[in-house]
Structures are given as structure tokens and as C-alpha cells.
Amino acid sequence: MRLPLKDNSTVAIIGGGPGGASCAIKLLKECKRTGRKIRVVIFEGKDFDHHFNQCVGVLSPPFQSILENDLGLILPTELIKRQIYGYRLHGPGEEILLIGQHSLEPTYTVRRVQFDKYLLDCAGELGAEILKTRVSYLEFIRSNGMDEVRIYSENTYLKADVVVGAFGLDEMMLSVLEDATKSDGHYSRPPKVLKTYIAKFHTTGGFIRQKLGNIIYAYLKPVSIPNIEFGAITPKGDHVIINIAGEKVTSPDMDAFLLLPQVREHLPEFESENVSYFEGRFPTAPAKNPFGHRYVTVGDTTGWMRPFKGKGINVAIVTGIRAAETMLKYGLDKEAFKNYAESCRELLSDYIYGTGVRLLCNYGPAFVLDHLIERAKTTPLVYESLYNSVSGQESYKNIIKSMLRPVLIKKMAQGIIKNYFHKKGGRMSDVKIRKLTTRDIDAVMKIDEKITGKPQEAYWAGKIASYLSREPEACLAAEIDGKVVGFILGDIRGWEYTIPLCGWIDIMGVDISYQGKGIGKMLVESLFDFFRKNGVETVVTVVNWNDGDLIDYFHTHGFKRGEYINLVKKLN
């Protein structure tokens, strides 16, 4: 090792966001574990009690395992504002609800400022010195037998053995680092960025429950606002965050986005003049020479974020951790930091694939994206791929690889031919009872809306998803010619209300255009078969006492009145 991180060395970290704080935590935890002693100084210009880094605050998988396995931290539950179950993706002309079927970890929304404060406090508790001041200048001194970094801030001067650039896309610091490495190192900032605007809407009562649910609404290339590459509506605790992004996006684009009917339906009433916007940037291309003699960059400063669903917080944390590991294991010179780049290879290697997907969405014909969305409604592989790319669960490389399977291409071609000869309507012999899947959630909500005549409440989508994850075999769909025309959601449970283990019919519905054809009976009988196979002796359901038709319906299936009544109290 040519330039090791010795005992009593000083590591200066510029920026106490997720990248800088994670680097400090990893350094200090490892030193404690191995009995080494180093000094870690974090410069952070913001006071997280008052100022915040612009962000939507979505923590995507595998965030939780990174935090637990690599940093030994557990996200405090009080930081979690909401768990996200899925995404509603709007293409130019088609939309689809995407729910993760195989996600191993949850997606959360947090208040970013609380999250940043939490990580920085953890670093402080481990012994990092936190200086609330902005760095203004940097020097790498390599003359007269000296080899050190000098850091200048508004009120401090520090000599360090190595500097970690964790200052995000701060314009001034990007220039300072470029300048300081001009003769040795040649750091050059990420050459491309996406501009972004954010707006925040406070909500009251059950607004989020009814109008959004635990779902993020994503909009790709809205036709009438071509500058927007993507926009999103994200539910938090008691407010909703809107963000738009694009290379040339402007604040008037945000004005127009907020007025789109498909956006407005998820927002509370507002006066345009009273809405405040905040602007920010994401890197979309890698920086040049992100490390060198006695310097290493992490997080946004590297530009190693994948285009589109960038998961910038994850990237910042992972790069912070890898930089710390490299310093401890290999040292502080350029040769040593090559191991850092190698350990982050998976981030970099996906860049080219992400750029391809981004170009396709931006410049490909609208019908390609719409066709993909349409196809995803019936083809699990396409559905999974769309979910993975919108949620950031998989690398673009793997997503593209999975889509290029010959079997899928064949299926798509078959689908087009089948559509051509599509027969309308359907005879009873065409009814197929099968397991309900997350791809059917939209259809289920539409059937329910038709029956009840009441608009859907957005949180139902998450509720249906939770039925599917609890007892997938007890959730069935009736299908005619590939169209879902009925559904039943059941469960095997007991304990609550002191009821013994029973089969439950919780919700069922048959499209009104297909009622009276015995479809409900087929669904109920299929569910009974499942209950019988699982040793269930009693089946329970709950109906409104005043709904004579429904009571009659269940009577025909052999149901009798049970022994429980419901008690109700009105809250003011």
C-alpha cells in the first residue's frame, strides 16, 4: 500500500448528506471494530433543523438491507411517512397499475430532512466532528516534502490526509474541486443533468386514502408538455409531492403539469398563485476522474446515478460505504481508489442501458410505449419488467435481457394476431376461473365502480394487493376472452372478534354486463373448493342487513344468519 490511511489520519468529508454521512459511519464503525483510530471531520453548510436538501424522499429497495447489513442501522419507524405498494404508470395514451409481486423489501417515503439529520446524528454519535460551515476553497499541497490537503471554510482551516467530495451538485464546490485538481487529478463534473421542479400540497382528512392510496403516480412524456421527461405524484404522511424532470424543463411546464386532468384528480383544490416551487438537479452522466491522489467523490458528485429511476439516496449511501472501505483497505492514492471504482462497477455498467431506455421513452414513437403498457396487462414478463424499471428494483441490463427472450417476442406477435381476430362478448363456456393477480387490480376496481356507482378510492389498490400477498389462492378472477368480468377476494382467518378459523368471503363482484350468467356462482364454488382443500368447515361473510338482494343471494348458496352483530359509534 503506497499511501495508507494511518492511525491518527484526518479524513475531511465535504457534505453531510447521505453520501458523506454514510462514508463517516462506515469509517468510524470499522475503526471501532478493528481498534484503529482516525479523525473524521464533516463539513455541512446546512442546519438540518432548518434547511433541507430538495428531494421526494422515496427510499427504494434494497435500501433497508444496505442500511442494516453495511451500516448496522435500522431505519427508525418514526421516520417512515408511508409504505408504497405500487406505481400507476401513465404513458402517452395508456396507463397501468404496477404492483410489486416479488419485491423482497418495502419502498418507503420519508421526510428527507429528518432522514439526513438521522444519518448525520449517527455519524456524530460515533465520533465524527460535524462543522456547520460551508467549505470555500481546497488545496492539494505536494511540494517541499509535504503531501496533504488543506480545506478552507467560512470560519475553519483544516489540514487533512484525504478529502471526500460528498457535496452533491453544489455549483461552487464542483468548481472548487475542478480547480484544485487542475494540475493533478483533473476531476470534471457530471457533464449532463436533468432539471427538476418540486411542489408540495398539504392535505387533510382522508384525502390521500381516497385519491392516491399508497401508490406513486408516474407520468412519462405527457403529450402536451414535451419538455417533461417524467413527472410523479408521491403521497407522504399528510402531504403530496409533485415533481417533474427533463433536460429543458421550466417552471411554466410545472404550471401546465399541475393543470393536467390526470394530475389534478390526485391533488386537493389549490390556487396556482399560492403554490411554491423548488428547483433541483439530478446528474445523468458520470463525472470524469471522480477520484485521484488524496481525493474521492461519492453520491451525486460522481454522476454514477442511473438515468430515470435513479435511486440517488441508495447510490449516495453505497458509494459512501465503498469509498470508506477502499480507504481502510487500500489507502488514499489514485491506484488505491481504482478498487473503489471496481467495487461500484454495477452502478456504472447500468448507465449505458439506462440511457438507451431513456432515449427510447423520449424519442421513440408514443405507440411503442403505449403498446408495452397494453401488453403488460396480459403478459407477466412485460408487467414485471415495467414494474422493475419504474420502481428501480432491477438493473436496466437485466430488464432488457429478460425482455429479449424469444418466447416473449413470439407472445407479442401472437397477441397482435389474436387481437386482430378478437371476438366480442362471450358465451358461458368461455368463462375461465383462475387466480387473481396484481395485473387484474385495475379491472377489479373498475368492476366495483360499475356495480356501486361510486368512484374508486385509490387506497383500495393497495388493499387488493395485500389480499393477494396474504392468501393468493383465495383471490379468484372470472375471465372471458382475456377480460376480467368478475372477482372474489377471500381469506382463511380467525382470532379477530373471537371467531374461530373460518373461510371468509370479503369482497366479490361481477361486471353488470355479465350478471345473471352464473359467474358469481362459479367464483363462490371455486373458493369453496379451496376452503375445503384447506380443511375449512365454516365460511363467513358480512352483508348489509338492509341489502335484501345480497342476503337472498347468499341464502341461495346456503348461508344462514350468524351470531355476531356489529356495533357502531359515530365520531364527530
State the residues that interact with ligand FAD by CB under 6 A: 14-20, 43-46, 53-58, 134-135, 166-168, 170, 173, 196, 198, 243, 280-282, 299-300, 305, 311-314, 316
**Residue 107 one-letter amino acid:** T
CB 510 within 8 A of CB 519: yes
Q: Shortest gap between Cβ of 186 and ligand FAD (angstroms)?
A: 20
Q: Shortest gap between Cβ of 25 and ligand FAD (angstroms)?
A: 13
Q: Shortest gap between Cβ of 9 and ligand FAD (angstroms)?
A: 21
Exposure class string for 367-400: b at 16+ Cβ within 10 A, else e: eebebbbbbbbebeebbbbbbbbbbbbbbbbebb
Torsions phi, psi for 39 (to 5 deg): -105, 130
Query: Cβ closer to ligand FAD: 281 or 483?
Result: 281
Q: Shortest gap between Cβ of 97 and ligand FAD (angstroms)?
A: 20
Query: Cβ closer to ligand FAD: 26 or 311?
Result: 311
Instruction: Give the chain's radius of gyration (CA, Å).
Output: 28
| Half-sphere exposure of residue 85: CA atoms within 13 angstroms, side-chain side | 20
Q: Shortest gap between Cβ of 11 and ligand FAD (angstroms)?
A: 15
Query: Cβ closer to ligand FAD: 134 or 463?
Result: 134
Query: Cβ closer to ligand FAD: 94 or 300?
Result: 300
Long-range contacts, 336-345 (Cβ 8 Å, 24+): 336/1, 336/2, 336/3, 337/291, 337/292, 337/296, 340/291, 340/296, 341/290, 341/291, 344/302, 344/304, 344/318, 344/319
Q: Which three cell numbers stand for residue 9?
A: 489520519
Query: Cβ closer to ligand FAD: 341 or 381?
Result: 341
Helix (H, G, I), strand (E, B) or coil at 230: strand
Query: Cβ closer to ligand FAD: 216 or 267?
Result: 216
Query: Cβ closer to ligand FAD: 193 or 382?
Result: 193
Q: Apex CA 372: angle with CA 249 and CA 420, to 5°?
A: 135
Q: Shortest gap between Cβ of 166 and ligand FAD (angstroms)?
A: 5
Q: Apex CA 290: angle with CA 285 and CA 296, to 5°?
A: 140
Q: Shortest gap between Cβ of 73 and ligand FAD (angstroms)?
A: 16
CB 355 within 8 A of CB 306: no
Query: Cβ closer to ligand FAD: 290 or 520?
Result: 290
Q: Shortest gap between Cβ of 570 and ligand FAD (angstroms)?
A: 39
Query: Cβ closer to ligand FAD: 61 or 331?
Result: 61
Give the residues across from 89 on adjacent strands. 96, 218
Peptide bond preceding 62 in cis form (omega within 30 of 0): yes
Query: Cβ closer to ligand FAD: 166 or 475?
Result: 166
End-to-end Cα, the chain, rounded Å: 71
* Total number of residues shown for the chain: 572
CA 18/CA 312 separation, integer angstroms: 9
Query: Cβ closer to ligand FAD: 305 or 464?
Result: 305
Residues sharing a CB contact under 8 Å with residue 101, sequence separation 6 or more, in sequence order = 384, 387, 437, 438, 468
Q: Shortest gap between Cβ of 461 and ligand FAD (angstroms)?
A: 20
Q: Shortest gap between Cβ of 344 and ligand FAD (angstroms)?
A: 13
Q: Shortest gap between Cβ of 114 and ligand FAD (angstroms)?
A: 14
Q: Shortest gap between Cβ of 358 and ligand FAD (angstroms)?
A: 16
Give the residues across from 502 on adjacent strands. 493
Q: Shortest gap between Cβ of 279 and ligand FAD (angstroms)?
A: 8
Tell whether the torsion through CA atoms of 466, 468, 470 and 476 is positive or negative: positive
CB 231 within 8 A of CB 244: yes
Q: Shortest gap between Cβ of 180 and ligand FAD (angstroms)?
A: 13
CA 258/CA 384 separation, integer angstroms: 29
Query: Cβ closer to ligand FAD: 171 or 547?
Result: 171
Residue holding cell 398539504? 202
Q: Which of 481, 502, 478, 482 is nearest to 491 (CA)?
A: 502
Query: Cβ closer to ligand FAD: 347 or 464?
Result: 347
Query: Cβ closer to ligand FAD: 66 or 135?
Result: 135
Residues sharing a CB contact under 8 Å with residue 532, sequence separation 6 or more, in sequence order = none
CA 534/CA 238 separation, integer angstroms: 42
CA 450/CA 456 separation, integer angstroms: 10
**Residue 453 one-letter amino acid:** G
